[in-house]
Structure 1
């Protein structure tokens, strides 16, 4: 087990190093100068040079990269070119919106998809299967931002149950804060739940044709007990893979959803930073998003080893 964890941890570190180099290099070759953009078209050359020196933009690229990466180990991501505050402070404030939103969407999609996928597999080629897969196909086809607009029209404009946009803040209490995140979380969760339900159904159908399932039925177990005790756990490997990938999709989806619902989260921050050419914010945010996705995939690999003991001992 330790060898398995060490191998996966080494892959995680190597991925983060390569990702940081690629992200820094890509943003370096983009045209335009942040100092010139901040000061405007009428700025004097000496003023631009002074600002470049203040921001550290006059240093060699290698030195700036090492300084930037070194700051990650102490929580110093630099100073925002636009907001003139520490990037870590900006990210921490916005993460208090995006992380609860992503977790709510992930929990909601999982809670919807796993029972529906299991029910569809148990009623294969009967009305539960046909109905669930029809709705799942619709959920896959509908973009989450358009679905979000429909939710706003129904629950905010027509029924007036939930706010149409904005974030009440955690200081206002858990109720108003979660009410502000409810519609965005549903808009993010339902398309992902449709995908996960289809994967759960397919994986469980494959498992139900295995010999040990027929043996369990021959020993007298009911169909429901066989599915839940022997089928679901063995079908979780592909489901865990999709869950790990879905976290990346949810984080990326917040960029659009947070702009639709006007939420002050990481998605809206990275959109603003790109528009304002605040490269230090863009670099730090993208690396953190990559790190979060890689870390989740690492945890999914550990979950593989828990679900399938053969992986812990290196057997296929």
Structure 2
């Protein structure tokens, strides 16, 4: 088990190193000068040069990359070109929205998908299974931003149960904050729940066809006991992969939803950084999102080892 963890940690470190180079190179080749963009079209060359020096843009690519990496490792993400405040402060403020939104959506997705997938597998070929497959196919096909706007029309404008957007802040109280995140979380969760339910069904059906399940039935276990006591745990292995990918997708891919609902999260911060040519914000936030994706993948691998004893002997 220790050797397995060490190998995964080495893979994690290498992935982060490669990702940092790719992110820095991709953002640096974007045309345009942030200093010239900030000062406008009529800015004097001397003013642009002075601003570039102030922002640390006059160094070589190697120097700037090294400075950025050292800062990231020490918790100093640099200073935003636009807001003139530390990027760490901007990220901390936005994480207080993005992380709860992601967790909320994940809980909703899992709470819906797992029982639905189990019921569909247990009633394979029946009306319930066909209905589940049809609804999940529709959930996968519908874009989440369109579904988000539909939720706003029905529950915010029509029924007036929720606000159409904005975030009051956690200082306003737990319920107002969660209420503001409910529609965005549902918009993010239902398409992911459709995918997860189909994976749960397929995995459980495959597991139910194994020899040890037939042996358990032959020993007198009914269908419910065979599914819940024997098949369910082994069927969770591919489901955990999807859960890890979904957490990463929900955290990194909520840019459109956060803009639909005017939520001050990481997705909206990246969008603003791109439109304002705030390269240090975009680099740092994207690197943090990549780090989150890799960490989640690492945790999923550890969960694999906990579920499947064969991995511990590697």
Q: Which bracket does the TM-score occupy, shorter chain normalised?
A: over 0.9
Partner of 1:295: 295
- Deviation per CA, 1:192-216, whole angstroms, max 9, x where unpaired? 0000000000000000010100111
Partner of 1:22: 22
Unaligned runs of 5+ in 1: none
Q: In 2, distance between residues paired with 1:73 and 1:29?
A: 24
Residue 75 of structure 1 pairs with residue 54 of structure 2? no
* C-alpha contact 1:207 1:234 (8 A) present in aligned 2: yes
Q: In 2, distance between residues paired with 1:184 and 1:59?
A: 42
List aligned pairs for 1:44-123, cutoff 5 A.
44-123=44-123
Shift of 1:248: 2.2
**What is the TM-score when the length of structure 2 is the normalising length?**
0.99
Shift of 1:247: 1.5
Partner of 1:241: 241
* C-alpha contact 1:109 1:189 (8 A) present in aligned 2: yes
Q: In 1, distance between residues paired with 2:234 and 2:172?
A: 44
Q: In 1, distance between residues paired with 2:202 and 2:163?
A: 37
Could you list the structure 1 runs, at least 4 aligned residues long, displaced by more than 3 angstroms after superposition: none
Residue 181 of structure 1 pairs with residue 176 of structure 2? no
Shift of 1:253: 2.9
- Deviation per CA, 1:48-73, whole angstroms, max 9, x where unpaired? 11111111111111111111110112
Shift of 1:153: 1.0
Q: In 1, distance between residues paired with 2:26 and 2:93?
A: 27
Shift of 1:162: 1.0
Count of matched residue pairs: 314
Q: In 2, distance between residues paired with 1:127 and 1:162?
A: 34
Shift of 1:244: 1.2
* C-alpha contact 1:188 1:253 (8 A) present in aligned 2: no
Residue 41 of structure 1 pairs with residue 37 of structure 2? no
Shift of 1:144: 0.5
Q: In 2, distance between residues paired with 1:247 and 1:37?
A: 35
* C-alpha contact 1:35 1:52 (8 A) present in aligned 2: yes
Shift of 1:252: 3.2
List aligned pairs for 1:107-146, cutoff 5 A.
107-146=107-146
**What is the TM-score when the length of structure 1 is the normalising length?**
0.98
Q: In 1, distance between residues paired with 2:153 and 2:222?
A: 45
Q: In 2, distance between residues paired with 1:158 and 1:33?
A: 46
Q: 1:104 aligns to what SS in structure 2?
A: helix
* C-alpha contact 1:117 1:198 (8 A) present in aligned 2: yes
